[in-house]
A and B are shown apart, each in its own frame.
Chain A
Amino acid sequence: MNIYEKMMSIDRRILFVLIALSVIIPLLKPLLLPINVTKEAKHLYEFVDELKPGDVVLLSLDYDPSTMAECHPMALSILRQCFSRGIKVIVTSLARPEGLGTAEMALTQAAKEYRKKNGEDYVFLGYKPNAAAVVLAMGENFRLAFPNDFYGSDLENIPMIKGLKNYKNIRIVVTVSGSAIIDTWVIYAGGRYGVPIGAGVTAVMATDYYKYLQSGQLVGLLGGLKGAAEYEKLIKHPDMATKGMDGQNIAHLMIVFFIIIGNIGYFLGKKAKASKGMGG
């Protein structure tokens, strides 16, 4: 076996270990490479940053466990930004019933950090099927879509909701989503009721939603783990996404390295074979 063949026949398990290490080591020993902030993330941050204490934001955590890796850090960052500035938050989760668990996790964690009280500083409305109908109903009145909050209290008895009727009392809707539900928000809540919309989506989806940025239908957009890390940087509260970003960096480099090694082996091996063929 010559060197080229060796280069082309590394056991796949070695590759697997390398990939795993390129994620694990940066997590343990963060390099904290600088993260450049895109203008899409900055616009969203600035919009929320300009709100006054007491303003209300509707945050819809429309993702489920399968896209949690990318969406969860975004949700936490936005909640932290709101809570740290005294902005009140209404939370819904409209994509799938499985999303209830992840939404509640994010909300309770952020609320604990900032000692915020359910019913006074935030409300968790929960999930109802048929997102389009729910988004439209909330345009008329929150009580129409959600007579009770997630924990079963009557909306009339929740202090924070008093005086809030529909999107007109909301400064911005932010949807963090792993699915096409973002279209529903943009078309119905944004298009029909004129409320500004911001969004956080997975990396795969991000390219599909630039169109809404250009047309001004979205205030800002966070794309994938990178977008989440950008937001963590903006609110100066680095967390999971920032730590994960190092892993993402190194793992991407590792894969590119594999492609190059594989191709060098392939070409040199072909050349060697060709010259041998001529000799024989």
Chain B
Amino acid sequence: MHISSSIGIWIAAFLTLFVYSFLYKDNPFYKFAEHLVIGLSGGYYIVTVWTQILKPKLFTPLLQQGNLILIFPLILGLFMWARFIPKYSWISRWAIAFTLGVGSGISIPSVMQAMIIRQIQATMLPVGFHSYIGWMNLFIIVGVLTSLIYFFFSAEHKGFLGVSAKIGIWFIMIGFGATFGYTVMSRISLLIGRIQFLMTDWLGVLH
């Protein structure tokens, strides 16, 4: 049982308690921690944006290696700032349009590959009636098909379509229940981690 003598641990412990005080009600201690973390993460962003992006990707090549083509993203980036000046905020539309246009272009084939083709390929499973796996493969195919039918919008959900969509939504809900269950698990683990920090690293009542 040794209470920590590290200043860092003490600061961390108090900040942890400040945040937990919010559970009782909103109070100045919580507000302090909240505003502090907003400031710190802002500073953290400035440092990472500068060291990881703007310096190596823009200023070093532009100013030291004379890579003049980089003037264009610089200008587009500055256009974004026009949002600050209401009169000229329309200028930023160019930058937004560029970002979205290029971003969309890049995303189309990769989404098609990762989210569509790979997924349907993984669903093309051999069905068999003599083994557990064979039955389960049938289950997967039926499940994916009915759930997909739920997402049909241009036809009324009546008759066969209606029944399928209904089964589909059951699948979806059970899936969500499972997701919910293990999200709970993760959050509780985090809580355990923080409490272990307080009791072990700080107070030393556990080892």
Interface residues of B in 174-207 (CB under 8 A from A): 178, 182-186, 188-196, 199-200, 205-206
Q: Contact check, A225 vs B206: say whether CB atoms are below 8 A apart.
A: no
**Interface membership of A161, Cβ < 8 A:** no
Distance A87 CA – B178 CA, assembled complex (angstroms): 39
Task: Kindly state the separation between the CA atoms of A23 and B114 in the bound complex, as whole angstroms.
Answer: 40
- Say what secondary structure dominates the interface of chain B: helix
CB-CB under 8 A from B206, the residues of chain A are: 27-28, 243
Contact of A203 among B24, B186, B191 (CB under 8 A): B186
- Write the nearest CB–CB distance from A61 to chain B, whole angstroms: 16
Q: Mark A238-261, 1 if CB is under 8 A from B, else 0.
A: 001001100110011001000000
B188 pairs with A23, CB closer than 8 A: yes
B23 interface hit (Cβ, 8 Å): yes
Partner of B186, one of A19, A28, A202: A202
Given A23-B195, A27-B196, A243-B206, A16–B23 Cβ distance below 8 Å? yes
Which residues does chain A contribute within 8 Å of B190, judged by CB atoms? Answer: 69
Task: Tell me if A235 counts as interface (CB < 8 A to partner B).
Answer: no
What number of B residues sit within 8 Å (CB to CB) of A? 22
| Given A19-B191, A27-B195, A244-B196, 19 more pairs with CB closer than 8 A | A16-B23, A23-B191, A23-B195, A24-B195, A27-B192, A27-B196, A69-B189, A69-B193, A70-B189, A203-B182, A204-B182, A204-B185, A204-B186, A206-B182, A224-B185, A225-B189, A226-B185, A247-B192, A252-B184
Query: Which residues of chain B have a CB within 8 Å of any CB of chain A?
Result: 23-24, 52, 178, 182-186, 188-196, 199-200, 205-206
Interface residues of A (CB under 8 A from B): 13, 16, 19-20, 23-24, 27-28, 68-70, 72, 129, 202-204, 206-207, 224-226, 240, 243-244, 247-248, 251-252, 255
